[in-house]
Chains A and B, each alone.
Chain A
């Protein structure tokens, strides 16, 4: 047996799942960020009736394992409407990332110094301008580093989607193992593909963190 050729073939086959893995990460991170904004706004409301549903959403979504969510959505929602594995995974991962990112945004909003809002208010800015022009940009800056770290966690979380049949890196690795490829080699190759994405992402998140620390010196 030619081990080198086999490993090369494994890289080729498993690599075809890379696009789907990246797609799941990017789409659910972006859609999750958008969805996280209203959730975070509700979460920081002073009105209990507005705050409570957001808190419940975040706790419930984060309190159930990703695997279980994907199974619930794929089989549950899938029994109502016809749902392919990939859209089911995207819905689940978007939901989950929106809950985590909403908590990051909330922490960002709450960590903007109170003096900022007061200074904006004292200038006669409307409540909306106080928030969108003064608090929100700083909250995003504060929320950026933890959110970039979350992107790495999310990337790894997408590996679970193979369970419902999404054709990602893990899906192809398992397929090759089923066809007789050595399991350790197949999953080492899979791991290598995750590293190809996660290492630059981690590097980027550290870079962003550093940049923001330089820029935002809140007195």
Chain B
């Protein structure tokens, strides 16, 4: 949980997103340091997923800019070039709430495909690396199976391995355990904690307050498209500045 404070890996500057006149993100700025783990929390509809998706341009922001390692990601953030998009997405991995594994491929193919197609590794190297990643997330025995033959918890861990296969500098997680039973979810959270301990830079949208408290270096509370509260977990959770924060935390913890 230590990180290099000097190096800002990702800088999001005044990110805005409007869906047909509906302003969902109201100029969010954030610095993510290399090795840092950020928990993004907030009520439903606050814009957490939208913000996360703006960071890899699955959603194109309607304003603001991104910098990776001090360099602007796009010459013109409103007109992303194809090569800029691909390069951003290869540097940033994403894990979805619903896993989204490719059902027509075997587990190991799910993890090797992008490595091969993106020219990252040769077929044999990709396979070797995939097996190593699958072992790391504890599903190596499922390598030859279809995703549909795996439990939800296994599928999400495979999805993590798939994202890691691109050697991303930053990992984005959008409620990775929300679709899972608590026991299975814990297997996924354990893998994520290992990643955090190994120094992976991560932004995690989550309702798992316990995980946020233990693993995150910083908690950001998003509300109505803005950062309402921000700080180390113990401060945000124990001494929030805003009444809305305490109300939200009570609502979540009472569930």
Given that A124-B114, A124-B166, A216-B148 are contacting pairs, would A118 and B100 also be in contact in the complex, using a CB cutoff of 8 Å? yes
Please state if A129 and B98 are interface contacts (CB–CB under 8 Å).
no
Complex CA gap A122/B96 in Å reads 10
B-contacting residues, A112-131, CB 8 Å: 113, 115-116, 118-127, 129
Smallest CB separation, A119 vs chain B (Å): 4
Residues of the A chain whose Cβ atoms lie less than 8 Å from the Cβ of B103: 138, 215-219
**A118-B96, A121-B89, A129-B117 in contact; A134/B102 too (CB < 8 A)?**
yes
The total number of A-B Cβ pairs within 8 Å is: 78
Q: Are A118 and B117 in contact (CB under 8 A)?
A: no
Contact with B along A145-179 (1 / 0, CB 8 A): 00000000000000000000000000000000000
- Say yes or no: A123 contacts B89, CB within 8 Å: yes
Residues of A contacting B: mostly: helix
Interface residues of B in 87-124 (CB under 8 A from A): 87, 89-90, 93-94, 96, 98-104, 113-114, 117-118
Q: Which residue among A116, A118, A122, A127 has the maximum number of chain B CB atoms within 10 Å of its CB?
A: A122
Interchain CB contact (< 8 A) of B96 among A119, A138, A141, A216: A119
In the assembly, what is the distance between CA of A118 and CA of B100, in Å? 8
Instruction: Indicate if the CB atoms of B148 and A217 lie closer than 8 Å.
Output: yes
Across the interface, which residues of A come within 8 angstroms of B86, CB to CB? 124, 126
A211 within 8 A of B: no
Q: Are B166 and A138 in contact, with the CB atoms below 8 A?
A: no
A210 at the interface (CB under 8 A from B): no
Known A122-B58, A123-B89, A124-B166; judge A219-B101 contact (CB<8 A): yes
B94 and A215 contacting across the interface, CB-CB below 8 Å:
no
Give Cα A152 to B162, complex, Å: 41
Question: Is B222's CB within 8 Å of the partner chain A?
Answer: no
Would you call B206 an interface residue if the criterion is a C-beta within 8 Å of the partner chain's C-beta atoms? no
Which A residues, 168 to 219, have Cβ-Cβ distances below 8 Å to chain B? 215-219
Cα distance A115–B58 in the bound complex, in angstroms: 11
1/0 per residue, CB under 8 A from A, across B231-253: the answer is 00000000000000000000000
| A122–B172 CA distance with the chains assembled, in angstroms | 10
B93 close to A116 (CB less than 8 A): no
Q: Does B200 contact A (CB under 8 A)?
A: no
Chain A contacts with B in 31-77, Cβ cutoff 8 A: none
Shortest Cβ gap from B132 to chain A (Å) = 18
- B118's closest neighbor in chain A, by CB? A124
Chain A residues near B94 (CB-CB < 8 A): 119, 122
Known: A115-B98, A129-B117. A122 touches B93 (CB 8 A): yes
Q: Is A78 positioned at the interface, with any CB of B under 8 Å from its CB?
A: no
- Known contacts A118-B100, A218-B103; A133/B147 CB under 8 A: no
Give B113's nearest chain A residue, CB to CB.
A133
A137: interface (CB < 8 Å): yes
Is B148 a contact partner of A118 (Cβ separation < 8 A)? no
Report whether B56 and A219 are in contact in the complex, using a CB–CB cutoff of 8 Å.
no
Q: Which residues of A83-138 have CB atoms within 8 Å of chain B's CB atoms?
A: 113, 115-116, 118-127, 129, 133-134, 137-138
Does B177 lie at the interface of the complex (its beta carbon under 8 Å from any beta carbon of A)? no
B146: contacting residue among A119, A120, A138, A215, CB under 8 A = A215
The answer to whether the Cβ of B130 comes within 8 Å of any Cβ in the partner chain is: no
- Residue-wise interface mask of B (141-173) relative to A, using a CB-CB cutoff of 8 A (1 in contact, 0 not): 000001110001001000100110010000000
Q: Which residues of B contact A124 (CB under 8 A)?
A: 86-87, 89-90, 114, 118, 166
Among B113, B155, B163, max chain A CB count under 10 A is at B113
Residues of A within 8 A of B163 (CB): 122-123
A123 engages B162 (CB within 8 Å): yes
Which residues of A come within 8 Å of B, CB atoms? 113, 115-116, 118-127, 129, 133-134, 137-138, 141, 215-219
Interface set of B (CB-CB < 8 Å, partner A): 56, 58, 82, 86-87, 89-90, 93-94, 96, 98-104, 113-114, 117-118, 146-148, 152, 155, 159, 162-163, 166
A-B contact pairs, 8 of them (CB 8 A): A119-B96, A120-B114, A122-B96, A123-B118, A125-B118, A126-B117, A219-B100, A219-B155
Taking A123-B162, A125-B117 as known contacts, 7 extra A-B pairs with beta carbons closer than 8 A to each other, sorted by chain A number, are A118-B96, A122-B89, A122-B94, A123-B93, A138-B102, A217-B103, A219-B99
